[in-house]
Amino acid sequence: MTTLVICRAIGPKQVRQLKEIYDRARAVKARYPESHLANKAARNLIDAFETVTGSAGAILDDQWLSLTDPQGSA
C-alpha cells in the first residue's frame, strides 16, 4: 500500500532528482576529508537515504524510492 502511495505522489522526475541528490552527496563525501563540514553534511544526507532504503548498498535502479517506508513527516 505504501509503495502505491509513493509511486502516485512522486513521479519519475522527482525520483531522478532524489537520486541525483544522493549521487552528489556521495561525491562530496569522497572529495572532502572526514573533518570537513561538507563531508559531515553529506554523510548525514547519505545516512538518511540509506536508512530509509535499508542496507541495500548502492542504489542501482530507478525504483529504489518505492522500497521506502515513510514514518511521520519530514
Amino acid symbol at 23: D
Give me the number of domains the chain comprises: 1
Specify the pTM: 0.57
Cα(26)–Cα(30) distance, integer angstroms: 6
C-alpha cell at position 32: 572532502
Please give the pLDDT value at position 3: 46
In a domain, 35, yes or no: yes
Please give the pLDDT value at position 72: 59
- Domain carrying residue 24: 11-54
6 pLDDT above the threshold of 70? no
In a domain, 33, yes or no: yes
Cα(42)–Cα(44) distance, integer angstroms: 5
Cα(48)–Cα(58) distance, integer angstroms: 14
pLDDT tens track for 10-50: 788 888 898 999 999 999 999 999 999 999 999 999 998 88
Cα(16)–Cα(12) distance, integer angstroms: 6
1 pLDDT above the threshold of 70? no
